[in-house]
Amino acid sequence: MSKPKVFEKPIGVKDYLPHAVTKLRQIENQVLACMSSWGYEQIMTPTMEYYDTVGVASSTSDQKLFKLLNNRGTTLVLRSDMTAPIARVVSSVLKDAQFPVRLSYHSNVFRAIEEEAGREAEFFQTGVELVGDASPEADAEVVALAIASLKAAGVNRFKIAIGHVGFLNGLFEEALPGQSAAQEELKAYLLGRDYVGYREGLRKLTLPDAMRSELEGITRLRGGQEICSQAMALSLDQTAQASIQHLCEMWDVLEAYGVCEHVLIDLTMIGDFKYYTGMTFEGYAADLGFPVASGGRYDNLLKQFGRPAPATGFALKTTRILELIGDHVSETRTERVLIGYDAAGRHAALNKARELREEADTVSGGNSGEAIVVVTEKMDGADAQRAILAASDSADGQVNYKGVTFTKLLTFFAGGQGGTSR
């Protein structure tokens, strides 16, 4: 393998230039503010965790974990999600906290990838975990909050598809009792959205025609509350029936939230069936073929850390949202002020800069939708002349100085404060 060039990066990671970082921070701040208004408090956890604890408990497959050794030879992992680290915190540092616990986060996560175009090894997620509540109300809350969070991020056209792991577990156990390998194969097809493979898998099995037809028909079970009654008729299995009842109760709560226009029931939506234990969901934006949000119930995770408790949550794919919304992030109006000075005018110039920045802090605290950026520079005679000339020649009041556009120029030179450009 050849030595990488000095400008190369590892595959799957990227640089975020100032404009992209500004947009990313706007999304982050708007979404976290939304989550805070629902009672979720932000948490931060280490980038590195022990493989034998968080790494093993994570929903990420072992081959997709970034592993490294510390100086004692202990295997560490870069966090691949935030759910397992938060489960560790709730079970240890917050072990005395009364349930339910509501936590939010924004962080980068890492997953080892094959060298495929478009796949990211490091990306950002913003999400919540609601720990200690097993009710349909809790599941509906995180779905409703996911909808509110997507809107806060600037995503307006999207659908949330919800399903339940228990429905397929019960249905397949009733149709294929004791045939765990066949059940897992069918669920794997559905997890990968491979409906052709799913139907071919059914044809290979020895099943009555009526049963095979019913199992094929679940791929068409998508819609609103009417799907619940249709699903109830498909299986008498208690697990399947209880799962559908849970979704029906969730729907009632989502109706009360007033968000059902964004939601559909999709009974092939199972998420990672080895990790999730109940309701699962994914959010799809109209202009993007990949999920921008995903979540569900994972009631078995916390017991791995010694504090058994039900839990549910979701994560927004913040990096994908950044790609989706492009430049349409915020309506904040930014005034960019350039202050030029020489040695004699330095004191007055820097005082003026401080005053403007303090005014900006006051304005931003009032949420006026305006921001002020103040840049100071000591200028020699040629630079000063260039800046003043650019201001006087500008028809729209803007000043282009060294490749950056400013809305105003203030000058502090030995001869006194110069003119301003507005």
* pLDDT at 276 > cutoff 80: yes
Task: Convert the pLDDT of each residue in 196-251 to its tens digit.
Answer: 999 999 988 888 888 888 888 888 888 998 998 888 888 888 999 999 999 999 99
φ, ψ at 103 (rounded to 5°): -130, 145
Q: What is the pLDDT of residue 8?
A: 85
CA distance 173 to 81: 31
Task: Convert the pLDDT of each residue in 28-48 to its tens digit.
Answer: 999 999 999 999 999 999 999
- 158-164, strands of its sheet edge to edge: 41-42, 101-110, 122-131, 311-317, 291-297, 279-285, 158-164, 263-266, 222-223
Task: Convert the pLDDT of each residue in 46-83 to its tens digit.
Answer: 999 999 999 999 988 888 999 999 999 999 999 999 99
Given CA atoms 260, 261, 263, 265 in this order, what sign does their dihedral have?
positive
* Cis omega (within 30 of 0) for bond into 100: yes
Compute, in degrees rounded to 10, the torsion defined by CA atoms 49, 55, 56, 60: 160
CA distance 149 to 125: 12
* pLDDT at 421 > cutoff 50: no
- Tell me which amino acid residue 140 is: A
